[in-house]
Amino acid sequence: MSPQTTVASFVLRFVHETTDPPTDLPQSDWRGVIKHVQTNDEQHFTRLEDALAFMARFVNLDELDDSDIPSTHPH
């Protein structure tokens, strides 16, 4: 029996708004939207943990270990 491949794709959008011209008001923090491509479900978030929780609805993140994640740093 051949292995099955499951794909879960996400689009992340990060937004940071600043005031122009600068004022004494505090600048807003980063915020974002994450979208699951296969279902079009999306969620707004201000904390990365919330985006990870959204992804965990579709991918068992506990099954991943460091060897599953490609390195972006040269060795």
Question: pLDDT of 16-29, one tens digit each?
Answer: 877 666 666 555 67
pTM, two decimals, is: 0.66
By C-alpha distance, which of 47, 25, 22 is closest to 34? 47
The pLDDT of residue 41 is above 60: yes
